[in-house]
Amino acid sequence: MVAILRVMSPTSAPSVALTFDDGPGPYTAGLLDTLDAHGARATFFDVGEMVAARPELARRQAGAGHEIGNHSWSHPRLTGLSERRLREEIDRTCAVIEQTTGSAPGLLRPPFGDHDERVRRAAGMPLIMWSVDPEDWRIKDTGHVTRAVLDAVRPGDVVLMHDIQPTTVAAVPEILQVLSGRGYRFVTVSELYRELQDEKPLRPGTAYDRPGGAPAGRAG
């Protein structure tokens, strides 16, 4: 089941959720500095083995008020795994994030956006997709990432980016500056959906997409 939400925000200022996948990595600290300088909150869909390797960055993400979601332990296509491996990828990541930050993740973004009924059932939490994809994993160019995001963003969007890409991290200051000038608020995914759904909770086992969302299998 995929829930489609209208791209509207009931608040006086438009909201957007910036999300970053695959970290924490060597460029995450610089990204956190940038977000802090702009008073922006984001959602990090962290990979479990990366959290284990850089626990101080996951703690810093949580301590700064950012949201941390589950992006599997080792970034495989979850739809191709055995039941045991599927559960291990999800549960092991939840455990390391909780042990590191003190809070278990409440959202899952499956690697590559791939999910099916079995993955949704195993997740035990809402699955979050995206509506803006600058393809920064493919086109590693700061100017491209900046233009692609600024040209596409509308109120209520979820933007997919990757903090393991230095060209993406370099694009974020201008993205924040321009969108701030347009009056945007930078909120976490959970905050955005609470606004869009008038405080109704997201449902475990449901995949949340958006109009114009990128098809599964295109991004990490």
What per-residue confidence (pLDDT) applies to 12? 67
**Full set of structural domains in the chain with CATH:** 2-68+126-209 (3.20.20.370)
What per-residue confidence (pLDDT) applies to 50? 98
Per-residue pLDDT of the chain (220 residues; tens, 9 = 90+): 444 343 444 446 899 999 999 999 999 999 999 999 999 999 999 999 999 999 999 999 999 999 999 999 999 999 999 999 999 999 999 999 999 999 999 999 999 999 999 999 999 999 999 999 999 999 999 999 999 999 999 999 999 999 999 999 999 999 999 999 999 999 999 999 999 888 788 999 999 975 433 333 345 5
List Cβ neighbours of 108 (8 Å cut-off, separation of 6 or more).
69, 70, 71, 90, 123, 125, 126, 127, 128
Other CB atoms within a 10 A radius of the CB of residue 201 amount to 11
Mind telling me the catalytic residues?
21, 162
Give the length of the chain.
Answer: 220
What per-residue confidence (pLDDT) applies to 220? 58
Residue 39 Ramachandran class (φ > 0 left, ψ -120 to 50 alpha, else beta)? left
What per-residue confidence (pLDDT) applies to 198? 81
What per-residue confidence (pLDDT) applies to 214? 39
Handedness of CA 154, 160, 163, 169 (dihedral sign): negative
